[in-house]
Amino acid sequence: MRKRVLLIEDEPNIIQAISFILSRDGWTVDTHADGQSAMAEVARRTPDVVILDVMLPNRSGFDILQDLRADPATEKLPVLMLTARGQKRDRELAERYGASRFMTKPFSNAEVLETMRQLTGT
């Protein structure tokens, strides 16, 4: 059975790259680009993993992560946080709010695949 990932990201180049990498590896990739409606999209799609950008239009990825962890339906959902800013503060916030993994842009294809496989145990 194919694994489903919801990529919440607003940069077209990143969306295209991750979608290509994961689709080629057998994933079903759904995408969403708005922070305000991200929680509703997670509920609608019921992904196996969420890839969540820190900087989104209308709402921060950190805020979304906090909501995911506060909701019993998604509190254990694996979340890979992405950021263009690899600052220590961002990494610490992601860890404090319960991110499963944290990755900075740019990233390698192999790094994305390996992280996703670790998050799903495949």
Residue written as token pair 């820190």: 54
| Chain center to CA of 37 | 15
Mean pLDDT, to the nearest integer, of 15-27?
96
Instruction: Report pLDDT digits (tens) over 65-84.
Output: 999 999 999 999 999 999 88
Residue 44 to residue 52: CA distance in whole angstroms: 16
Percent of the chain with pLDDT over 90: 88
> What are the two backbone dihedrals, phi and then psi, of residue 55, each rounded to the nearest 5 degrees?
-100, 105
Identify the bridge partners of residue 5 per DSSP, sorted by sequence position.
Answer: 29, 49
pLDDT category at 1 given cuts 50, 70, 90 is: low
Distance between CA atoms of residues 110 and 120, nearest Å:
16
Please give the average per-residue pLDDT across 53-70, as a whole number.
Answer: 97
Global pTM value: 0.95
CATH of 4-120, one of 3.40.50.2300, 3.10.20.30, 1.20.81.30, 3.30.930.10: 3.40.50.2300
pLDDT of residue 53: 96
List the chain domain ranges: 4-120
